[in-house]
Structure 1
Amino acid sequence: MLLYSLFKQLTSPQKKTQNIAVERENNYFRDSSFKAKLVGKILDTASLKVRLTVGIAGVAALGMGGLAVWTSMRMQHILVSTNKENMKYIATRFPQDVKIYSEMIPLEEGAKRAIASLSTTDKLIWIKDAEGNITAKSQTLNTPEIGDTLLAVQNVPLIPQVQDLHGSYWLMCATPLQVNGINLGQLYLAHNITRDQVMFLNLMRSLAAATIIAIATMTAIIAFYIDRSMQPLKKISQLTATISADKLDQARISLEQAPSEVKELAETVDGMLIRLSDSWGHQRELLSNVSHELRTPLTIISGYIQSILRRSDNLSEMQTEALKTAASEADRTVQLLQDLLDLARLDSDRMQFQLEPIILNDLLHEVVGMAKQYSARIITLDLKPDIIAIKADSHRLKQVLLNLIDNAVKYSEPATPITLKLNRENDRAIIQLCDRGVGIPLQQQGRIFERFFRVDESRNRAGGTGLGLSIVKTLVEGMAGNITVRSQLNEGSTFTLSFPAQ
């Protein structure tokens, strides 16, 4: 167990393999949460892209919004100021005109004449005496629609101000009126600026809409620019996400057009990968050396134990049982070391595949014959009459099939048969190994090809190193094939090998 723990620490587990059954189970959850994940990614407040976009767009929006408000205020000021100056001119000239007219006609008639000369359809004038009675007014004020609205306004300010009167905009003010030292009451001035005000409000609406569109466009441009600027970081993330332990020596990050800070980060990551590659190489070398050095003495020990057992006439039953246990553990440890050596060769690309055309029909007959030599199990062949050939390493393919058969023997009842099937689907040769064993739990089917992973010990009749299926998968993929598993508890498992057919 100590040796097993040592090699388990030295050997890094491969990436989890997803199979068809687990993938189907997770499809529903992935589809139902895709939109939520997408929205969450876009609105992720912890994202640097979101923070930069919101920050820059917020400052820009504040600046453009402030400019729009200042522009509207200035335009309103210019619009009102022009009309205020005109009203001040009328308020200053009116007493002079009344004085001139009063030299020829009575003062009241002179005020009426002055109102008539200075009034237009948009500029209206009226006078109220000290009691609040209207003594003179513009002719237009006789129209009920206009007169009732303007004459009813109370508390008209001394400084001209805009009044919204039932949808019409009037600039109104009031000033004391004295002519020749006589107080004639209050002079009221009203200028209709509805047309100008409506134009101003429409312009403001257009300006507000343009500002919003400009802010939205600018935000999109900023987001696009930030996204483009962060592409080197995304590239680093994508490259590092695809790096595996067996390709550390080949993994390098190359960024030609990137900011100097990002290039510095890429160089740092490259340096880290080089150190990891060296460390992983030393670890694999240590694993290979330790496995090789331990295999020979353990093989010798196993041989001596077997020799003693063959001459066990003078041994007690307890001694014989102890030696059998020691021999079994020695053989198991030797097999573990052999598996570790195979994995070390595969990891370091030192295992060569002798690929050659192979007729699978003949090879499966040979494999079944070999399997029956060490197992009394019923192994049946289900072959199509067609000849199916592939290009593979016959020795390694036999190793794969024998390993799978041995695995089926361990995890199924002695009375149940094991079936080996061969057929062709399109341009693929399909080999299936079926048993009627205990099956594999669904949640564990995605991990059975990991190194040192073993199914629940309560279902494991024969133990094992947990390396067999990992080696099988690596060998199959090394011959351009792939392997999957489909299993149900208490009904059995089916391992499917697929290779390009010749």
Structure 2
Amino acid sequence: MNKTRQIWRNIDLFSLRLRLTIGIATVSAIGNGSIAIWTSWRMQQILIDSHKNHIEQIAARLPQDVGLYSEMMLPETGLQKAINNLTNTKTFLWVKNPARKVVAQSPNWNSLSNSTVAELMSKSEMPIKPEVYKAGQHYFVLYGGSLQVQGKVLGMLFVVQDITRDQTMFLAMVRTLWIASILVIIVITFALAYYIKRSLHPLRQLSQMTEVISAKDLAQVQLHLDNPPSEVKELAQTFNMLLSRLSQSWEQEQEFVSNVSHELRTPLTIVHGYLQSVLRRQNNLTPTQQEALETASSEAKHTIRLLQDLLDLARADSGYFHFHIQSCVLNDLVAEVVGMAKKYSERTIQIEENTSPLKAKVDYNRLKQVLLNLIDNAVKYSEPNTPIILKLNQQGQQAILQVCDQGYGIPLQHQSRIFERFYRVDEARNHTTGGSGLGLSIVKTLVEGMGGDVKVLSKLGEGSVFTVILPI
């Protein structure tokens, strides 16, 4: 049962494979069904026609025989005599006068049950064209009409041919035909599903290849399929040309960002230095001038940091971001980071360690930058009177670093995107309250560059926990 449910879950109701299979199977079912219906109808007509001539001959001959016998005996006796002569084991005749009373009938009714005889005799008229009729457990071809002898109407003639044996064989053949048609449709459906699956395999390969392509792979990747159909081969070639254009655009963008960041950082650093130098000689400044210079210095410092982040990301994208991996004690690193954070934040920052000195191979300075970014993020989005906790644990061959706050929390729909560049949960925040949107992106880039991973778990009104996982 569980396996069946799993199969149904894996079926994509909107897939091209399912649509093609259903469409072709439906056309096949309609075609086979139409052939089966026409064949059944045609076989029924052949069965009726095989008995039709015999019944029509009896109906045409009876008035002649009655006329001959009537010249030698009474009309009623002649009618019965003629009926007896035309009756056999499978044929039954009877005549009703205008008063609906049976005046003559075949003598062989004892081969049928009383209920069947009564049902047949109760019929007040017969079809002009022969047709199949079921009475009891028997099948009959019915036919009738007016009986005229020498221009005089004697009554209504009823002729019945017992075709039970033929009809039973016919119904068995029809059942066999329908069963065979259903089996053929099922086999065709499965064969089509398998064939369509094989035919769509190159498209699936193409999808799997493109799914794993990242920005770093654009310059090297080339989609190649073994013996694909012409249409899929053309699609792969189109994808390759598209990837080539994307690679060129990506390289140009990264080069532009790197050049702009590098060129702007130096003059802005000089400007920031001059502003700081002027502020140190603030005795000659009015309060208004001092406030304006402090604002300019703060903005210049923020811009320098933003340019440095952009430069780091550009270097990481281009593969020129190098890490100096070395063995270090994470407990000492965490203690140093907390000491640095307390100086500029004046917040309560606690350390919880559940492990003895834990060593790991990381880039010491880059990991400090990661933790400082996460602490800065916690400071911005939590109340001043709430503590920030750093936890250090070991799970198997992994070191777990967690930065916990009791802040506002992150809505669930934003948690999967907060590590994207320039993404902000609240677009209304400016850089003084919400940052540039690059801090968490830098964190993710640095952690992954050291072979680790970073995750977030947050709930509105209760705070957030950022978890850095590093291999030991």
Q: If the TM-score is normalised by the length of the shorter chain, which range does it land in?
A: 0.7 to 0.9
- Partner Cα distance (1:217, 1:176) in 2: 54
Q: Deviations over 1:134-157 (max 9, x none)?
A: 554322247854554434433335
Q: How does 1:475-494 map to 2 (within 5 A)?
A: 475-488=446-459, 491-494=462-465
Aligned length: 463
Q: Can you list the C-alpha shifts for 1:47-75, whole angstroms capped at 9, x where unaligned? A: 65565445433432332122112211221
Matched to 1:120, the amino acid is N
* Residues 140 and 147 in structure 1, CA contact (< 8 A), matched pair in contact too: no
- 2:268 is the alignment partner of 1:298: yes
Partner of 1:190: 160
| Matched AA of 1:173 | Y
Superposition map of 1:119-130 within 5 A:
119-127=87-95
Distance in 2 between the 1:323 and 1:50 partners? 68
Secondary structure of the residue aligned to 1:201 is: helix
Match of 1:288 in 2: 258
Give the match for residue 352 of structure 1.
322
Alignment of 1:262-341 (within 5 A): 262-341=232-311
Residue deviations 1:448-501 (CA, integer Å, cap 9, x gap):
322123454569865532212210111111112111233455654332211122
Task: Trace 1:64-213 onto structure 2 (pairs within 5 A).
Answer: 64-90=32-58, 112=80, 115-127=83-95, 134=102, 136-141=104-109, 144-145=114-115, 147-157=117-127, 159-165=129-135, 168-174=138-144, 185=154, 188-213=158-183
Aligned to 2:334: 364
Q: Which amino acid aligns with 2:332?
A: D
Counterpart amino acid of residue 169 in structure 1: Y
Is the CA contact (8 Å cut-off) linking 1:438 and 1:459 kept in structure 2?
A: no
- Asked if structure 1 preserves the Cα contact closer than 8 Å seen for 2:115 and 2:136, the reply is no
| Larger displacement relative to structure 2 (146-155 or 444-453) | 146-155
| CA distance in 2 between partners of 1:394 and 1:59 (Å) | 68
TM-aligned CA deviation for residue 268 of structure 1: 0.6
Distance 1:109 1:293, change over 3 A: same
- Is this contact kept in 1: 2:355–2:393, CA < 8 A? no
Contact 2:132 2:141 (C-alpha < 8 Å) held by counterparts: yes
Residue 470 of structure 1: aligned partner? 441
Q: Deviations over 1:144-183 (max 9, x none)?
A: 545544344333356543334456432233477789x797
- Matched-pair identity in %: 51
Amino acid at match of 1:323: L
* Secondary structure in 2 matching 1:366: helix
Measured in 1, the distance between the counterparts of 2:410 and 2:153 equals 109
Bigger Cα displacement from structure 2, 55-64 vs 395-404? 55-64
**What residue is the counterpart of 2:215 in the other structure?**
245
Q: Is the 8 A contact 2:393 2:401 kept in 1?
A: yes
In the alignment, does 2:399 pair up with 1:429? yes
Counterpart Cα distance in 1 of 2:443 and 2:347? 22
Question: 1:498 maps to which residue?
Answer: 469
Rounded Cα–Cα distance in structure 1 between residues aligned with 2:287 and 2:261: 33
2:360 is matched by which residue type in structure 1?
I
Q: Distance in 2 between matches of 1:396 and 1:342?
A: 11
Q: Is 1:392 the counterpart of 2:362 in the alignment? A: yes
Give the 5 Å matches for 1:218-257: 218-257=188-227
Would the aligned equivalents of 1:177 and 1:185 in 2 still touch at CA under 8 Å?
A: yes
Closer, same or farther: CA 108–305 of 1 in aligned 2, 3 Å: closer
What is the identity, as a one-letter code, of the residue corresponding to 2:437? Answer: G
How far apart are 1:219 and its partner, in Å? Answer: 3.8
User: How far 1:340 moved relative to its partner?
Assistant: 0.7
The two structures have a TM-score, normalised by structure 2, of 0.83
Q: Per chain length, whose mean CA-contact separation is higher, i.e. which structure has more relative contact order (CA < 8 Å, sep 6+)?
A: 1
Q: What is the identity, as a one-letter code, of the residue corresponding to 1:270?
A: N
How far did residue 285 of structure 1 move? 0.5
Q: Is the deviation greater in 82-91 or in 477-486? A: 82-91
SS state of the match for residue 139, structure 1?
coil
Indicate if the aligned counterparts of 2:276 and 2:297 stay in contact, CA closer than 8 A. yes
> Which residue matches 2:416?
446
* Counterpart amino acid of residue 295 in structure 2: T
Return the letter of the residue paired with 1:499.
L
1:359–1:192 CA distance, 2 compared to 1 (3 A) = same
In the superposition, the TM-score normalised over structure 1's length comes to 0.78
User: How far does the alpha carbon of each residue in 1:220-250 deviate from its partner, in whole angstroms, 9 at most, with x for none?
Assistant: 4434433443343344344444443333224
Deviates more, 1:370-379 or 1:463-472: 370-379
Structure 1 CA distance, aligned partners of 2:161 and 2:459? 91
Q: 1:314 to 1:373 in 2, by over 3 A?
A: same
Hey, what does 1:27 align to over in structure 2? none
Equivalent residues of 2:142, 2:159 under 8 A apart = yes
8 Å contact from structure 1 (residues 156, 173) kept in 2: yes
Q: 1:289: how far off?
A: 0.6
State the Cα deviation string for residues 207-228 of structure 1 (Å, max 9, x = none): 3344344335434443443344
Which stretch of the first structure deviates more once superposed, 467-476 or 253-262? 253-262
Q: Give the Cα–Cα distance (whole angstroms) in 2 for the partners of residues 329 and 260 of structure 1.
A: 58
Match of 1:466, SS?
Answer: coil
Q: SS in structure 2 opposite 1:230?
A: helix
